[in-house]
Structure 1
């Protein structure tokens, strides 16, 4: 009897060990205690919380999320239960999975306060600082596009913040902007980079009703799902090229299958996050994607994802 070699899809994010390289994206079914408990018992490699603010937020008016066959549009407006809820939740839970606390302050000063609070918790594996939320009414500038201030912000953060810190980035559409952001990030002890968040300023129309499909911001919102995968792959590949190799990348955007995960890793991701498709399927998606990825690696005769991270061939 021929024994099949065990396929290793574990990941190591700067010393944070994940049994599976597949996790949820912040903002998706990770807001409430019920959501987080489901993620804890699922086969996801880690738990990422909803991006939180200092105080609880209801978010934007509904309808604020819509799906079609190739993607989704949302303008959620950061609905969350406030950082104290997530810190208290972690204090009460005896869990083995890595926990990534996602934060997204409404101001730079609020981010500093959130990080001070996170600094005091012994139950957080890392903070994912969300610099890429495009859906706050009255907040025109996505912080991840503010190249002039981002270096100063990070300099201030690392004066007091001592735990692992990752940065969730918006999509960039020009190589020079990715180079510029990578140059900034390379100067600091960043633990990981997550890219990409949804494509900002999208619009989807209901042709029968002749209306937009979400209410906030006159129908404009962030685009996710299958549609954005080429942009995600491009950002991952370029950041993999320009970032210090000590900064792993968590890929996010358009993942619906094991093949999609393989493409993210081939471009340079060490792990992946699932958004729109997670909303569609719930926590069972982690089992399906795991099986599909393992089957593909068996077919390709890879025994570990480490064998092909960033090994994309070019002409």
Structure 2
């Protein structure tokens, strides 16, 4: 027997008609790209990670696809935060939440951007990127727990709009506990797990060369390869943080089954990155249809019916 299924969810107090939306990075830099997300079956619109001023990013080639995913070293190319703030009014015409990703190049930049965005009409929430691995000379804040705390203390002096954080992947169990201890001290609305796995290397054996130019070929790994790590991060932060903190799964999502696994681990919503680059915004409708079929076959009417209910072996 099949059932009527709903993919609706709530993130940062905002109702989403679908639990799928875009990751910050692929195809969300320009108004035209954001319009395409808005016109699709994505449940929300998320901007490119914004810096204080417009950036060209790293030199090309800076993105390369493999059979198992992708490697990139984009270097935060974006139009600057004012562009994405100006777009908010236009985003409202799509009748879905509009989130702005922020990735300032220093603490003061992050504070300035978030202060400017906070309380602005049509900005539903802010995603603070603590995890960009592809800006030369800039370490990932999310791996420095004390500095993460300092930054959040600075930001929460000014923010009134719901704010979440995008985290790098963690691998050691104590590191999950250490970051969770930081996050529990702030009114975090959501946590996005994970950004790409930093500083991988892909080789073109025919050319005996790396495949991207920046950083001598080192770049962030995304796609199928990172799904087990993403699932582990979703699961750990779901169990470590209060249940009113939404977990957003990101990593290796290209099918309805991938979404099902993320939600089973505790995700309230998922972001699509590499597959969006491959397929375009049509991926949201296809993946949603696959997820509905899986849920219907299992008798689940909504995502809360199975969210976080991953079983362990006795």
Which structure 1 residue ranges, 5 or more long, are not aligned?
A: none
- Asked whether 1:308 is paired with 2:301, we answer no
- Equivalent residue pairs, number: 312
Measured in 1, the distance between the counterparts of 2:89 and 2:308 equals: 37
- What does 1:133-144 correspond to in 2, within 5 Å? 133-139=132-138, 141-144=139-142
User: Is residue 21–residue 271 contact of structure 1 (8 Å, CA) maintained in 2?
Assistant: yes
Measured in 1, the distance between the counterparts of 2:159 and 2:243 equals: 22
User: Is residue 131–residue 167 contact of structure 1 (8 Å, CA) maintained in 2?
Assistant: yes
User: Is residue 53–residue 82 contact of structure 1 (8 Å, CA) maintained in 2?
Assistant: yes
> In the alignment, which residue of structure 1 is the partner of 2:183?
185
Cα shift at 1:119? 1.2
RMSD: 1.0
TM-score (norm 2): 0.98
Q: Equivalent residue of 1:111, what SS?
A: helix
User: Is residue 198–residue 222 contact of structure 1 (8 Å, CA) maintained in 2?
Assistant: yes
Q: Which moved more, 1:48-57 or 1:89-98?
A: 89-98
4+ aligned runs moved over 4 Å, structure 1: none
Measured in 2, the distance between the counterparts of 1:156 and 1:138 equals: 23
- Asked whether 1:147 is paired with 2:145, we answer yes
Q: Which moved more, 1:98-107 or 1:142-151?
A: 142-151
Measured in 2, the distance between the counterparts of 1:20 and 1:202 equals: 32
User: Is residue 3–residue 300 contact of structure 2 (8 Å, CA) maintained in 1?
Assistant: no
User: Is residue 39–residue 94 contact of structure 2 (8 Å, CA) maintained in 1?
Assistant: no
Measured in 2, the distance between the counterparts of 1:254 and 1:222 equals: 13
Measured in 2, the distance between the counterparts of 1:18 and 1:92 equals: 18
2:76 aligned residue (78, 82, 85)? 78
Measured in 2, the distance between the counterparts of 1:310 and 1:208 equals: 45
Q: Equivalent residue of 2:268, what SS?
A: strand
> In the alignment, which residue of structure 1 is the partner of 2:28?
30
Q: Equivalent residue of 2:105, what SS?
A: coil
Measured in 2, the distance between the counterparts of 1:79 and 1:148 equals: 28
> In the alignment, which residue of structure 1 is the partner of 2:250?
252
Cα shift at 1:91? 2.8
Any idea what the Cα deviations from partners look like across 1:180-208, whole Å, max 9, x if unmatched? 10111011100000010000010000000
Q: Equivalent residue of 2:154, what SS?
A: helix
Cα shift at 1:33? 1.0
2:286 aligned residue (288, 292, 304)? 288
Measured in 2, the distance between the counterparts of 1:188 and 1:147 equals: 14
Cα shift at 1:156? 1.8
> In the alignment, which residue of structure 2 is the partner of 1:226?
224
Cα shift at 1:160? 1.5
- What does 1:17-166 correspond to in 2, within 5 Å? 17-93=15-91, 94-139=93-138, 141-166=139-164
Measured in 1, the distance between the counterparts of 2:210 and 2:183 equals: 38
Cα shift at 1:14? 3.5
Measured in 1, the distance between the counterparts of 2:257 and 2:27 equals: 23
Cα shift at 1:120? 4.5
- Asked whether 1:270 is paired with 2:268, we answer yes
Any idea what the Cα deviations from partners look like across 1:32-85, whole Å, max 9, x if unmatched? 011011111100000000001010000000000000110100000000000111
Q: Equivalent residue of 2:94, what SS?
A: coil
User: Is residue 14–residue 246 contact of structure 1 (8 Å, CA) maintained in 2?
Assistant: no
User: Is residue 147–residue 181 contact of structure 1 (8 Å, CA) maintained in 2?
Assistant: yes
Q: Equivalent residue of 1:269, what SS?
A: coil
Q: Which moved more, 1:249-258 or 1:120-129?
A: 120-129
TM-score (norm 1): 0.97
Cα shift at 1:154? 1.1
Measured in 2, the distance between the counterparts of 1:14 and 1:48 equals: 13
